[in-house]
Amino acid sequence: MANSSRLYLTAYNLVQFIGFSSVTYYLLHALLFDSNIISAKQIYQAISPRFTFFQTLQFIEVLHVLIGLTGGSPLISFVQIGGRNLILHILINDIAAVQSKWFVPWLILAWSSIECFRYPFYISSLLNYKIKLITFLRYTAWYPIYPAGIILEALTIKSSLESLEASGKYSVSLPNSANFSFHLPTLLQLYLKLLIWPTSFLLLSHMYKQSKNALK
């Protein structure tokens, strides 16, 4: 790998690590220790701009894989990052009723906390200075966090369906000049079924194989 590419990737991973660490720290403090915060919506409103920026920035990682800057599967990267951003931008950021649900801050915590282990591992690998503890955490922390995240994603999707059905937002009804229809709640219900079994199975299997190989 060229020095310029290594420098760029190290800087990118460092920025993301700092960003997601700050989100994780805030959420842990707000959820567990701050008695002044009384609602999920308060937490969401405080952390949303920061988290949205760093989560959206992750789309660059799909491009990294596509152009060969990093290894991995473009499909796995796109499904994981695209799925998170769909839930974040369309279901959480755009539906006030969802923002008030108790599980939304916990979902953001699950998404953010796993990155606090992933990015340091990437940085140490880029610097050719692998630390056993970082490697261990990178390949074991996901065991509780990923299943919890899948359940929290499912709850978030399910809680959005009524609002989307009532508003018709992001859906296209017939008749129209393009003779085309699209019903987002139906797509989300399909995604929900795929998330619960096939997609989660593929993702967890992929992570398990990675962990098994890395921790030999």
Q: What are the distances in angstroms from CA 117 to CA 21, 179, 180, 191? A: 10, 48, 44, 27
Answer yes or no: 146 catalytic.
Answer: yes
Distance CA 119, CA 91 (A): 26
Q: What are the distances in angstroms from CA 139 to CA 21, 97, 132, 153, 198? A: 18, 35, 11, 21, 22
State phi, psi for 3 to the nearest 5 degrees: -60, -35
Query: What is the total count of domains within the chain?
Result: 1
Active-site choice (12, 61, 139, 153)? 153
Answer yes or no: 191 catalytic.
Answer: no
In tens, the pLDDT along 182-192 reads 999 999 999 88
Mean pLDDT on 159-163: 96
Mean pLDDT on 96-123: 97
The closest alpha carbon to 149, from 118, 103, 190, 188, belongs to 103
Mean pLDDT on 42-49: 96
pLDDT beyond 80 at 37 = no
What three-state secondary structure class fits 132? Answer: helix
pLDDT above 70 coverage of the chain, percent: 100
pLDDT beyond 90 at 199 = no
Which tokens sit at 19?
């960003």
Residue 159, domain extent: 3-214
Higher pLDDT, 177 or 46: 46
